[in-house]
Amino acid sequence: MIFNFIVSISITIIIYLIFIYLTKHLKIKAFKIINDSDFKKPQSFHEDNTPRIGGLILLAITIALYFFNYSSTQNLNDIYFFLSFFLIGFADDIKIITKPSIRLLLIISVILLNVISLDIHINNLGFNFLNYLIDLNIILKIILTSICILTVLNGCNFIDGFNGLLIIQSIIISFLILLADQHNLITNNLKYLILGLACLLMLNFPKAKIFMGDSGSYLIGSIISLNIIKTSNLNNGISPFFYATLLFYIFSEVFISFFRKILIEKKNPLKPDGKHFHMLVFQKINEKLNNTQTSNFMTSIVINLCFLIIISPIIILKNNFQATRLVFFGAVIIYIILYAILYKKKN
């Protein structure tokens, strides 16, 4: 474990220093583009040019630790899965992909390709009638699995707007998945993710020296979604709603945003705006503190602390189907109520 930690720290520092050096001394367009200097977009709360290389660092750490510890066909498949989404995000970071609709189509296509070719399926959806339907119809199973992965990817991308918000959220989720992996079948993979995220957190919180970028948020989303599917399928004694509760905040951000834009505001759901839950929380905190930088990282602390408190019952109740289902729906209801209150005040 100490060796893995040293490797993670070393990779993080080396890539960061190399990028900073190249940015300052070489006039290469790609290095300038990957710096986030757009301070006017709705989800922007930074004041300095900040490199979006968190995904590159996490990918390097993940691949290095996979190969240093063991290499197998399954691990190579996992890396191909992660890499495919990283590349879509990276293409967006360096402005190769500029239209949200093109990016979404690419993501959907890659998800379907991976789900079919790598045989990635969710086997238990928590409802007997749904389990019956997906057992009878493989196409339906592929579609539902793809929707879940797509939601996690976009949810991670949505909440990657404040220092530490996505990274801390991902560390909490990964640690609880680790506890649920009773047979220790993917334990090492999760440890690598947590190590990588912990190293990145030092450069992203409380003041951001780097951003995750779309490449980082999609990479994190792909790793979390794949590990949750694997853990759920390999640990049948744990309620599916345990995993659903871990993702309730990410899911809620996506679905509430989507339906709000379509049903209430009558606008394109793919266009970014400043009315996501974490942005409304930030505005409320900033009203009190009147300090943008402090309010930025305080938003991450407040949201993740509340998230941890809300989901804490499932740690004990993870084997209880009925109890975890109540916790999940209770968490979603709490989110909707809080969002409705903040949204009403915003308008």
Give per-residue pLDDT as tens, 265-315: 888 887 878 889 999 999 999 999 988 889 999 999 999 999 999 999 998
Would you state the pLDDT for residue 340?
93
Would you state the pLDDT for residue 2?
72
Q: DSSP for 44-71? A: ----S-EE--HHHHHHHHHHHHHHHH--
Q: Which residue has the higher pLDDT, 16 or 282?
A: 282
- Predicted TM-score of the model (pTM): 0.91
| Residue 42 confidence (pLDDT) above 60 | no
In the numeric block, the tokens 């993702």 are attached to 247
CA torsion sign for 251, 252, 257, 263 is: positive
Residues 3-30 have a mean pLDDT of: 74
CB atoms within 10 A of CB 132: 10
- Can you give the residue ranges of every domain in the chain? 2-346
| Residue 84 confidence (pLDDT) above 60 | yes
Specify whether the CB–CB gap between 172 and 190 falls below 8 A. no
pLDDT digits (tens, 9 = 90+) for 142-179: 999 999 999 999 999 999 878 999 999 999 999 998 88
Q: Strand, coil or helix: what is 173?
A: helix
Would you state the pLDDT for residue 207?
86
Residues 97-119 have a mean pLDDT of: 91
Would you state the pLDDT for residue 282?
93
Least confident of 6-20, 42-56, 171-185, 307-321: 42-56
Would you state the pLDDT for residue 165?
94
Would you state the pLDDT for residue 32?
61
User: Which pLDDT band holds residue 333 (cuts at 50, 70, 90)?
Assistant: very high
Would you state the pLDDT for residue 27?
62
Would you state the pLDDT for residue 306?
95
CB atoms within 10 A of CB 13: 14
What does the mean pLDDT of the chain come to? 85
Would you state the pLDDT for residue 244?
94
In sequence order, what E strands does the chain have? 35-36, 50-51
CA torsion sign for 39, 41, 42, 44 is: negative
Ranges 100-114, 200-214, 224-238, most confident: 100-114
Would you state the pLDDT for residue 48?
60
Least confident of 81-85, 135-139, 301-305, 322-326: 135-139
| Residue 112 confidence (pLDDT) above 90 | yes
